[in-house]
Structure 1
Amino acid sequence: MEVTSSAYGTYSSSSSASTPTASEQTDYITFLQMLTTQMQNQDPLNPMEASDFAVQLATFAGVEQATYTNQLLGAMMSQTGLSDLGNWVGMEARIYGGAYFDGSPVELTPDPALGADEVTLIVRDSNGVIVDNRSIDPEGLSYSWDGTDSSGNPLPDGSYTFEIESKLNGETLDTSPVAAYVEIMEARYEGGATMLVLPGGFYVDSSSVTGLRRPVG
């Protein structure tokens, strides 16, 4: 099992194959050994009845068929899973925890406190330092951050986190994180979970996605 850390948390990964489990293989081999031993040690003067032998052969065939069926079902489930993963790729996921800026605007979905008459967007870099602080529309449900600082200077590529401060009559009502829509580059199964690969090499568990949409434009 491999443990990997990212800006969005730590997760474990493991791999499995569509081959019989160790338990299935052990049972299969044990059955063969028992049948062979029984045939080798039978009384020559009172050999096994043909009907008994046929029953055991049928049982042997049943075990073999069950093993093959398990392998086939495992392969089918794997193929279905890959198809499901493909549905994620190319979509835009709404997530909290920040986004990677590479020169293209980052689409945010602010949710100001009810009744706020003043809302400020606060942007922090990967070190937690505030690099941008600007007023936005209190009634706006979306905002496109252009990747510049408070003075309008372009910021370098990298990961940034977002939050908003809501005020009413100059008094702070709430400070809350802001979600961003981020393109999904890849999807994979890791440790029983569906992990999404985002721009900048970040990983996020699909269970943390709060919205999904097709790319805009």
Structure 2
Amino acid sequence: MELGASSTVLGSRSVNPADRNPNAGSNDYQTFLKMMTTQMQNQDPLNPMDSAEFAVQLATFSSVEQQTRTNELLATMQSQFGMMGMAQMAGWVGSEARAEMPARVTAGATLDLAPNPLIQADRVVMVVKDEDGTVVNRVDLPADTTQLDWTPVDVTGAPLPDGIYSFLLENYEGETKLTDSPVETWSRIKEVRGGANGMTLVLENEAEVSVASVTALRE
């Protein structure tokens, strides 16, 4: 299982709070105060700087310093939450996930599909495409089909060659096509990955899907 390697990659991208100087912000602030004090001591007594200007400088620097510390705290919390999520989702590896994604066709094996027909549809057609996007079959289904064990065949009834195929559902009301809706498939989870766009799952069917797109899990 490659989860450990993925966790390491995620960890290397995060910022370790221990590497930061906890007194960096305080040192900068003290330096600013010393500079301001020196400036006040050495100003022209005949043309002194307006005290309001000093107050504005002090308030501005204080605000920037506070925002910097807030950003650092949020970055630390995000890193910690990301690692917690990765650890929790390690248990998903080896399970099967259902999502809108292509499916791998293997000779002699049926596919467990989950169409999502529209409620107002009275006729639905499952469209099957190969990796090149060519339509290899159109299958009429009952309008209330939500679970389907399908034997992969082409429009002539011949078995489909092994490979990756995608599915969508055309919804009709009478002769009027309403819109397409997804057909979800199952695949076993090989790996959990973390990244800038959140956590994703790497599946045996060569697909990579976001965790948020998963609608069901099973052993």
User: TM-score when scaled to structure 2?
Assistant: 0.59
Residue 99 of structure 1 is matched in structure 2 by: 103
Deviation at 1:149, TM superposition (A): 1.0
User: Which amino acid in 2 is paired with 1:112?
Assistant: P
Per the alignment, residue 206 of structure 2 pairs with 201
**Which residue of the partner structure matches residue 111 of structure 1?**
116
TM superposition shift of 1:123: 0.6
Aligned to 2:173: 168
Distance change in 2, residues 1:150/1:142 (3 Å) = same
1:185 corresponds to 2:182: no
In the TM superposition, what is the alpha-carbon distance from 1:156 to its structure 2 partner? 2.2
SS of equivalent to 1:141: coil
User: Which residue identity lines up with residue 85 of structure 1 in the other structure?
Assistant: M
Deviation at 1:21, TM superposition (A): 5.0
- The superposition leaves residues 13-34 of structure 1 with CA deviations (integer Å, 9 ceiling, x where unpaired) of 753479665434996xx9xxxx
Unaligned runs of 5+ in 2: 1-8, 28-76
The one-letter code of the counterpart of 1:204 is V
Task: State the Cα distance separating 1:195 from its structure 2 match.
Answer: 1.9
8 Å contact kept, 2:121–2:143: yes
SS of residue paired to 2:20: helix
The answer for the alignment partner of 1:84 in structure 2 is 88
Q: Which has the higher strand share?
A: 1
How many Å apart are 1:135 and its aligned residue? Answer: 0.9
Q: Secondary structure, in 3 states, of the residue corresponding to 1:86?
A: helix
Matches within 5 A, 1:62-73: none
Q: Determine helix, strand or coil for the equivalent of 1:181.
A: strand
Aligned 8 A contact 2:187 2:205 in 1: no
Alignment deviations for residues 32-60 of structure 1 (CA, whole Å, 9 cap, x no partner): xxxxxxxxxxxxxxxxxxxxxxxxxxxxx
Q: Could you tell which deviates more after superposition, 126-135 or 187-196? A: 187-196
Give the deviation of 1:92 after TM superposition.
2.4
Q: Which amino acid counterpart does residue 160 of structure 2 have in structure 1?
A: L
- What is the CA distance between 1:82 and its match in structure 2? 5.0
Of the three residues 125, 128, 142, the one matched with 2:133 is 128
Cα distance in 2 for partners of 1:79, 1:177 equals: 32
Superposed counterparts of 1:3-82, under 5 Å: 14=10, 15-16=12-13, 22-24=19-21, 80-82=84-86
Greater shift, 130-139 or 85-94, is seen at 85-94
Deviation at 1:208, TM superposition (A): 2.1
Q: Structure 1 or 2: larger helix share?
A: 2
User: Match for 1:180: what amino acid?
Assistant: T
Shift of 1:136: 1.2
Identity percentage of aligned residues = 29
Q: Amino acid of the residue matched to residue 135 of structure 2?
A: I
**Offset at 1:84?**
0.9
Are the counterparts in 2 of residues 106 and 144 from structure 1 also a CA contact under 8 Å? Answer: yes
**Cα distance in 1 for residues equivalent to 2:23 and 2:197:** 25
Q: In structure 1, how many angstroms separate the alpha carbons of the residues matched to 2:87 and 2:117?
A: 38
**1:50 matched residue in structure 2:** none
1:146 Cα offset (Å): 2.0
Aligned residues between the structures: 158
Contact 2:102–2:205 (CA under 8 A) maintained in structure 1:
no
SS at match of 1:200: coil
Contact (CA 8 Å) 1:158, 1:200: kept in 2 or not? no
